[in-house]
Chains A and B, each alone.
Chain A
Amino acid sequence: MTNAIIEVVDACKSFGGLKAVKDVSFTVGAGEIFGIAGPNGSGKSTLFNLMTGIPYGPTSGEIRFDGTRIDRWPAHAIARSGLCRTFQKDAEFPDLTVLETLLVSAVYNGDLSASEAANEAQSVLELAQFDPNRVDMLSSELSVYEKKQLMIASALISKPKVLMLDEPASGLTKPEIAKLDALLLGVNRAGVTILLIEHVLSLLLSVSQRLIVLNQGAILAQGLPADVVKDPAVAEAYLGGGV
């Protein structure tokens, strides 16, 4: 692993008496694609939430990004520092067009002027493999896959160091997942570290260089994808006893 860009140290999140995330610790190397797996309700999205502060931070523990502790920062400041995320459910600004969505992100997250944002939008849309004929469409009029592309493009336009993707393949067809696979590898080749939560194992195993598996809020296994899927505890807890 190269230099750690993210360090999560004993992160916990409680909701009343429920501990949704329990003493989770891991590091992510710069330039890595790092996978996070686990059954429904295992705390994957909660982990993303407390890392990004959206909508809450950790109850205890530390989150370090690029050597700086960020777990008490306001959420928008975390995003502006270069830790940018997407959401499991379709997130969109329904009244904004594709270009306007990118403009907002470029100006507020990337500190670009409106004219710089317009230029940058073209290259980001190309990287996200977005149909250039549909840039004036309202976000609400896009297909599920296009919304995912836009969500990724709107993160990329601010040139994040780390892109955190929460189940980007949910709701996609097999050909679309194949395109997403190529897209993620392309983004990573461009120098962006990726954290990927994903239920579609074929995608997760295909692109991830390392993996953790969460179960009931705690890390069950971690290591290389090939080793993790052979772990009997993972097979029992996550895969129902067989791969």
Chain B
Amino acid sequence: MTPMIRNVVLPLAALIALALTPIFVIDSYTRHLFIIAFIYAIIASNWNLSLGQCGVFNFGHLTFFGVGVYTTAILAKTVGLNPLLAIAAAGVTAPIVAFLMAAPVARLKGIYVVLVTFAFSQLVMQLVLSQSQITGGAEGMVRIPYLKIGDYSFIRDYKLGYYYLCLGLLVVSTIFLILIARSPFGKSLKAVRDAEDYAVSRGISVSRQRVLALALSAIFTGVAGGFYAIYLRVASPEVFGFGTLTLALSMLLIGGVGTTYGPIVAALAISFATESLAGIRGFEEARYIVIAVAMILVLRLAPEGILGLFRRLTG
């Protein structure tokens, strides 16, 4: 299979298929599954920028999502800002938090990066829990204003508006990631990941690239968090929890670390697979075990992920 087919034709065909899906899928529940899958796809593919492309073992990526959720929730509900602007604001606050997190980890390596980023995530969660007068504490925030543009309410038409808005966010986020990957900056991230000393000897500041990679990976992750808050109309500290983190991580690992499309494909596949398993009697709670087993099998048999496996099989 030629790179043209693999990198352009297939993604475009997938995009057209997703754009046409609401014509055939008219029930709001299936559309809801697609929307949640798109959100996870944005989270996982942007996580790939720091973890896959730059090699930073960042276990605080869901912090950016959580910051996006609460930024939008507070601005839309407490401040009364237009929900669309509140979502956009999440794309600003999340990278700011990413800068704060990146500062102490920029010069660390390996397990220390994992520990510090995860600790930072827990720190932000504790902050959210402790500031209950602003964030709602453990109970979170509910009845966040829904999205309206003019007279059109996005909750009408079986979530059609939300579907296309979220698909649009995924497309813009993916184009953003592709442009980064193809730029000299994107190449420098791979250089830092694969041969740090060699990269430094070619004038690349490793700590600067790591900070930038984390901040850039936070932009659309934060926006996805903002969208999530407006779409579900809740903001809950669960978004900082280990369950959300491991689900997004499994999408990244199963899809293929270092690939742009892999985590997106895996996010769609895993979201629908877990939902399908939930409908099978006896599998309601076992679905996460199935994902864990799938992750182990993929890492063992195809460490490059399902997209890498697909590339290998198609030459």
- Cα-based distance from A75 to B199 in the complex (angstroms): 10
Contact A54 B197 (CB under 8 A): yes
Most buried by A among B198, B203, B258: B203
Contact A93 B194 (CB under 8 A): yes
User: Are the C-beta atoms of B194 and A79 separated by less than 8 Å?
Assistant: no
State the CA gap A113–B255 with chains docked (Å): 33
B187 touches A100 (CB 8 A): yes
A94 on the B face (CB < 8 A) = yes
A95 x B206 contact (CB < 8 A): no
- Contact at A96–B190, with CB atoms within 8 Å? yes
Contact A79 B202 (CB under 8 A): yes
Q: Which residue in B194, B195, B197, B202 is a CB contact (below 8 Å) of A108?
A: B202
**Does B279 reach chain A (CB closer than 8 Å)?**
no
Question: Within residues 98 to 114 of chain A, which ones have a CB less than 8 A from any CB in chain B?
Answer: 100-101, 103-105, 107-110, 114
A105 close to B203 (CB less than 8 A): yes
Tally chain A residues at the interface, Cβ within 8 Å.
Answer: 33
Given contacts A103-B187, A104-B187, A108-B188, contact A76 B205 (CB under 8 A): yes
CB atoms of B190 and A95 under 8 A apart = yes
A223 part of interface (Cβ distance < 8 Å) = no
Q: Verify A91–B204 contact, CB threshold 8 A.
A: no
B204 contacts across to A, CB distance below 8 A: 76, 104, 108-109
Q: Do A107 and B201 touch across chains, with their CB atoms under 8 A apart?
A: no
Q: Which residues of A contact B201 (CB under 8 A)?
A: 52, 54, 75, 79, 84-87, 91, 155
Give complex CA distance A110, B184 in Å: 13
B184 touching A93, Cβ below 8 Å: no
B42, CB-defined interface residue at 8 Å: no
How many angstroms between the C-alpha atoms of A52 and B203 in the bound complex? Answer: 11
Whether B203 pairs with A93 at a CB distance below 8 angstroms is no
Given contacts A95-B190, A108-B184, contact A74 B205 (CB under 8 A): yes
Known: A74-B205, A94-B194. 16 other contacts (CB 8 A): A75-B200, A76-B205, A76-B206, A79-B201, A84-B201, A85-B201, A91-B195, A91-B198, A91-B201, A93-B199, A96-B187, A96-B191, A100-B187, A101-B191, A108-B203, A110-B203
Question: 6 smallest A-B Cβ distances: which pairs?
Answer: A109-B203, A91-B198, A108-B203, A105-B202, A107-B184, A80-B203
Name B residues whose Cβ lies closer than 8 Å to a Cβ of A.
184, 187-188, 190-191, 194-195, 197-206, 258
